[in-house]
Chains A and B, each alone.
Chain A
């Protein structure tokens, strides 16, 4: 089959996978362009790893089509494998291997010649700050360092599509920031990155596109702003008072306010009804509080983050 012209680098259309009676993936469709960083989130057992294994060809989809770089999977697996870098959730190497030996083997299998291999191994170990462990046996390394060796083998041949299953799990905060920076830099150079994670703040930090999966169904795909806009999330305003007359309770008279809570002394949280114009209401609240003999130290609307979106979609049963 001839390679087709394409705009999207990774395309999944109607991908479905069943394990006996269990529907692991139900009609999953999305597409990524070159340079996209796709954060794939969802609870345990949602189908994230199954999706990843189907994309890299370790599992076969029951229904649906997958195209990577214009090549259909799994028909053109050999072509696709040249474009692919993959870090599994639990990376594992043969016990006798040193880091250098593992990277040499995987580099050669990915088609690197002798000169490229040596320079790429040196560069990638330096990038990940693990040059000193090059000749150590992998089984003697810590879990976090093995994770970095796993990432090294995925990046070694400079793949166009990088698939990372929970790449930041088990890493310390410094290493997590380091990997996030690497992901962003790779994206700037045109690498498409697909990664799953439970750490939503990390996804929010790096992902340019987010997919929310639950019970095998892709509930939503888009940027964080698009996800927030598509799902109604109640907004809140946090107010800190320097002088509290106790009369702030009268704010309840505003019809845009759902409820008011004193979360700590001098600190109140105002929950707004959906569709409320926050800016207009903040102005009214300030005037009202001053008239009620309350002095304001600070007042700020709280923006929903990815955690809020995730909870709305997954726990709140949000769906399209």
Chain B
């Protein structure tokens, strides 16, 4: 019950602070701008894949930075005090924030990728099975990277003493971890890269979130 309430609250907070609108409109707009800038990516590299890389890179950075800034800000202004003295488990606070940001990014990424598919369809006709498969793989890759970036953002937000340190850590550390997701399946040359991508993403995310919850439970305010 507490988790659902806090999750709804976080989504409402993003909606009220216009972050959600910016993501949902901003990322698809970036996809169009990128298409206009580099319209011919060739048949070997459909635009869907390019837009997936773009979205995961920007979306992942945005998600982790948003989480770091939000958590450190609320921590230093002592917003959490009023939550922590109520009969709720501490993990509710952390996970509700993580899933709210992730859901916003999932919707934004899906919108941007659908736009990429639409652009490819416009350029090359109706989408083929290969193109749809490619779009699905791109979406998987994109969401897995964003998931890991978000988890890294939450972890850094909990232990970082200041927003500046947090943002530096997340830009130079958090996003590197998420890059592993995109590189590993190719490096290993595995037969089912989408599955491996999701698997590695979920495992790393669980480890990072588990560590975050452990630290947050131990933390004294």
Contact = CB atoms under 8 A, between A and B. Distances in A.
A84 interface: yes
Contacts of A142: none
B83 interface: yes
Contact of B13 (A56, A96, A110): A96
Contact of A88 (B13, B74, B81): B81
Given A90-B78, A94-B74, A96-B13, A109 B83 contact: yes
A58 interface: yes
B165 interface: no
Interface in B201-221: 220-221
Contacts of B85: 56-58, 81, 84, 86
Interface in A81-135: 81-82, 84, 86, 88, 90-97, 101, 105-106, 108-111
Contacts of B16: 96
A101 B10 CA distance: 12
A111 B87 contact: yes
B189 interface: no
The listed residue with most B CB atoms (<10 A of its CB), out of A81, A105, A110, is A105
A153 B86 CA distance: 11
Q: How large is the interface on A (under 10, 10 to 19, 20 to 34, 35 or more residues)?
A: 20 to 34
B132 interface: no
A60 B5 contact: no
A94 B87 contact: no
A280 interface: no
A59 interface: yes
Interface string B80-112: 011111111000000000000000000000000
A53 B82 CA distance: 12
Interface in B52-92: 74, 77-79, 81-88
B101 to A, nearest CB: 14
Contacts of A88: 78, 81-82
Given A58-B220, A59-B221, A108 B5 contact: yes
Given A86-B82, A90-B78, A153-B82, A109 B17 contact: no
B161 to A, nearest CB: 16
Interface of B: 1-2, 5, 9, 12-13, 16-17, 74, 77-79, 81-88, 220-221
Interface of A: 53, 56-60, 78-79, 81-82, 84, 86, 88, 90-97, 101, 105-106, 108-111, 153
